[in-house]
Structure 1
Amino acid sequence: MFVVCGEALMDVFAAGETGTGFTLDARIGGSPFNVALGLARLAQPVSFFGGVSRGFLGERLLAALRAERVGTGSVIEVDAPTTLGLVGLDARGVPSYSFYGHGGADRQLTPAALSRLPPSARAFHFGSYTMVVEPVAATLRALVEREQTRSLIAYDPNIRLNVEPDLSRWREVLQWMLPRTHLLKVSEEDLALLYPDQSPQTLGAQWAQHGVPLVVITRGGDGAWAWTAQAHLAVPGVPTTLVDTVGAGDTFQAALLTWLAENDALSPAAMRELRSDRLTAALTFASRAAAITCSRRGADLPHRTDL
C-alpha cells in the first residue's frame, strides 16, 4: 500500500468577473492530495496522511478521498481552517499561487498521529510545503527516519515560495532528504530556483551517483530526464491540447509510482537495476498521464482506463 503524506487544501480559481468582483471556483487540491487521488484512479491501494479541518471544507476534502477510495484512517481532523490556494493562470495555462494557510489544518500534524498509519504501508510519498513548515515538517521527517530502511521513500520538493519564501529552507530539506530518498522527482523549474548556477543534468547525475536509486527531472512540455547509477536517458513530451498545467507534476508522480508497482520495480534495488527500455516505458507512461491532466481544467487526474 502507498501512503501519501502532506497537505490537502482548496484551490480557488477566478471563474469570471461580476458587477462587484469575481465568481470563485473552489476545487479540492494540494500536491500530495492530488498524488493520492492519482494513485487511486490508477487502481493502486493508497491512504492519505495529513490534517484536515473539521469545517465544511475539510468535510469536502474527506468526502473526495472516500469517493475515490483513498484510505482515510490516517487523516487527522483538527480545529483549524482549511488552507486556500488562489490560482492564477497565465496565457499559457501555467499557474501561479497565493496561499492563505497560516495556522491551517494541514500544518497541525504532530508525532502522535504516526500511530494512525496502516501497518501494510510499503511505499511513502512526501512533498511540497508540508516538508518545510512546522509542526508538520518535524512529524514527516520523523516518519522518513522511521521508514527509510524498510519502505520506499519518494519525494517531490514542489516549491511554493508563497508559503516559505526562504530558498535556503527548501535546499536544507532537499539535502536532508537526498540520502533518505529512493525516488526523487523534481521539476526543472524548481531546480532553477534552488540551484540557478548549476545545470539540471549535472545535479541529476550527481544525485544518482551518490546513492539516490532513481532521479527524475520533469521538463514540462519538453518531457523528462532520468538517472540511475547505470543509466541516463530522456523522453520527449507528449503532445496535448493545453488547458492548464495544474496537477501535471502530481499526475506524473502518481503514474510513475503506478508503473513501478505494476512492473515489480517498487523497491530501491529494482529501481537501481532498471534497464533503459524499462525506464523509458516508465517515463513515457507518466508523461502520457500528465498530458491528459494538462488537457483538462485543474487537477483532474486520469483513471487507469484513460491510459
Structure 2
Amino acid sequence: MNRALIIGEALIDVVQREGRPSSEHVGGSPLNVAVGLSRLERDVDFLTSIGDDSRGRRIADYVAAAGVHLLDGSVAARRTPVARAVLDAAGSATYEFDIDWHLDGAPDVDAPVVVHTGSIATVLEPGCRTVAALLDAYRGSATISFDPNVRAALITDHGRTRTQIERLVARSDVVKASDEDLRWLAPDSTPEDVAQRWSMTGPAVVVVTMGGDGAFAVSAAGSVRVPARPVQVVDTVGAGDSFMAGLIDALWSLDLLGAERREQLRAIDLDRLAASVEAAVLSSALTVEQAGAVLPDRATRDAAALESHRGRGREDPPAAS
C-alpha cells in the first residue's frame, strides 16, 4: 500500500494574540503533518485520541475535509485535548495543555510506506508506550519518521523525556528537530553536535530547522545547509509540521520510503538530500506567511517552487519537489 500512517495527538488550539480576542483552531503536530501530506496528494491514515464532543467532531470534520482517513478507535477519549497558544509580537507561540493521551489497540492498516509520529504522543503516559510499540511493529514494512517537537510545558522529568526521545531517534529512519528542541534536550551541546551524534545511532537522515537561519541535514554522505526563504512572517504556528510534511513528501517523490528502500535512503547523496530539505523549507515558508497552521497544497507549493527556480535562472524544479 502506498499510504502514510500518522500516529499522534489532535487537539484544539485556543490562540491568544495581543490585543485581539482568542480564537479556536484545529491543531496538533501529528494532525498537521497528516493534513499537510494529504494536501500534497498523499493517501493518509491518522490514528489519534479525541472525544465524542463538539471539539472532537470539529477535528473529525476537519481531517475528513482534508482527505485524511481517521482510523477506527480514534474517537475514544473522555474529552478532546486543548492547547492554549499565546503569540508574542513576533508571532512565536508558547503553549499550555489540557490533554489525556491514551491509545487503544492497533490500527487496521496494512503495510504503510511511512509511519510518522512525534511531539506529545511520544512522551506522555500512557499513550506513549503504545506509540513506541506501534513503531516497532511497523518498522518491518515502513520508513519510520519522528519529530520530537518538544512541549516543555508538559514535561516534569527532563532526563526521562530525553531518554524516551533518544530511544525513538535510534528506532527511526528520518528525524527532524528544531534547534530549540536540541538546546532543550542537550543544552551543553551545539545542534550540529547533537545531529551528528543522533545520525550515528540509527537514522539515515537527521534534519534540524533553525527558523530564520534555514535548516541543515546530516546523512552518511555528509551534511548540507539550506537557507531560509525571505518571507513576511505572520506567525510560526504549524511551520515545523509543514516542514516535516514537505520533507516526507520529497523523500517519497524520490522513491526512498518503505522498509525495502531503507538502504537506498541511507545512501542518499548530498544533492538529493539538499533538494529534499529545499522542498521542506519552501513548504514551511508558505505556512508562516499565513495566520494559523495553513499547510500548502501541491499546486500552491509547486507553483512557488517553479517561480523560485525561474528567479534563480533554472528552467526545471528539483526532482524532490
TM-score (norm 2): 0.89
Provide the secondary structure at the position in 1 that maps to 2:86. Answer: strand
Does the aligned pair in 2 maintain the 1:48–1:74 contact within 8 Å?
Answer: no
Spell out the pairing of 1:117-136 with structure 2 (5 A cutoff): 117-136=108-127
Provide the secondary structure at the position in 2 that maps to 1:279. Answer: helix
Aligned to 1:163: 154
1:198 to 167, 189, 205: 189
Q: What displacement does 1:134 show?
A: 1.6
Say what the alpha-carbon RMSD is for the aligned residues: 1.5
Query: For 1:138 and 1:209, how far apart are their aligned partners in 2?
Result: 24
Spell out the pairing of 1:238-257 with structure 2 (5 A cutoff): 238-257=229-248
Q: What displacement does 1:168 show?
A: 1.5
Does the aligned pair in 1 maintain the 2:6–2:30 contact within 8 Å?
Answer: yes
Aligned to 1:292: 286
Query: For 1:133 and 1:210, how far apart are their aligned partners in 2?
Result: 23
Q: What displacement does 1:167 show?
A: 1.7
TM-score (norm 1): 0.92
Q: What displacement does 1:79 show?
A: 4.6
2:23 to 22, 25, 28: 25
1:302 to 296, 307, 311: 296
Aligned to 1:221: 212
Query: For 2:88 and 2:291, how far apart are their aligned partners in 1?
Result: 13
Change (3 A) 1:269 1:24: same
Residue 8 (structure 2) pairs with residue 6 (structure 1)? yes
Query: For 1:270 and 1:244, how far apart are their aligned partners in 2?
Result: 36
Does the aligned pair in 2 maintain the 1:52–1:75 contact within 8 Å?
Answer: no
Query: For 2:160 and 2:121, how far apart are their aligned partners in 1?
Result: 12
Change (3 A) 1:259 1:302: same
Query: For 1:109 and 1:117, how far apart are their aligned partners in 2?
Result: 13
1:100 to 98, 101, 106: 98
User: 1:162-210 CA deviation, whole Å, 9 max, x = no partner?
Assistant: 1223222321112211221100101100100110101111121222233
Provide the secondary structure at the position in 1 that maps to 2:251. Answer: helix
Does the aligned pair in 1 maintain the 2:49–2:102 contact within 8 Å?
Answer: yes
Aligned to 2:36: 38
Q: Give the residue type in structure 1 aligned to 2:239.
A: A
Does the aligned pair in 1 maintain the 2:111–2:138 contact within 8 Å?
Answer: no
Which residues of structure 2 form unaligned runs of 5+? 302-321
Aligned to 2:319: none
User: 1:229-277 CA deviation, whole Å, 9 max, x = no partner?
Assistant: 1221111111111001110000000010001111112242222121111
Query: For 1:38 and 1:171, how far apart are their aligned partners in 2?
Result: 27
Aligned to 2:315: none
Q: What displacement does 1:15 show?
A: 5.9
Aligned to 1:87: 85
Does the aligned pair in 2 maintain the 1:4–1:46 contact within 8 Å?
Answer: yes
Residue 291 (structure 2) pairs with residue 262 (structure 1)? no
Query: For 1:261 and 1:78, how far apart are their aligned partners in 2?
Result: 32
Provide the secondary structure at the position in 1 that maps to 2:203. Answer: coil
Q: Give the residue type in structure 1 aligned to 2:28.
A: G
Aligned to 2:312: none
Query: For 1:134 and 1:210, how far apart are their aligned partners in 2?
Result: 25
Spell out the pairing of 1:179-194 with structure 2 (5 A cutoff): 179-194=170-185
Any runs of at least 4 consecutive aligned residues in structure 1 with deviations exceeding 2 A, and if so which?
14-17
Tell which deviates more after alignment, 288-297 or 224-233: 224-233
Change (3 A) 1:299 1:126: same
Query: For 1:2 and 1:188, how far apart are their aligned partners in 2?
Result: 26
User: 1:122-155 CA deviation, whole Å, 9 max, x = no partner?
Assistant: 2110100111112211111110121223311100
Query: For 1:175 and 1:304, how far apart are their aligned partners in 2?
Result: 33
User: 1:210-237 CA deviation, whole Å, 9 max, x = no partner?
Assistant: 3311111111111111111122111111
Aligned residues: percent identity? Answer: 34
Query: For 2:72 and 2:215, how far apart are their aligned partners in 1?
Result: 33
Does the aligned pair in 1 maintain the 2:16–2:87 contact within 8 Å?
Answer: no
Change (3 A) 1:208 1:15: closer
Tell which deviates more after alignment, 221-230 or 33-42: 221-230
Provide the secondary structure at the position in 2 that maps to 1:23. Answer: coil
User: 1:11-35 CA deviation, whole Å, 9 max, x = no partner?
Assistant: 1112676xxxx73210000000000
Provide the secondary structure at the position in 1 that maps to 2:49. Answer: strand
Between Structure 1 and Structure 2, how many residues are aligned? 296
Q: Give the residue type in structure 2 aligned to 1:176.
A: R
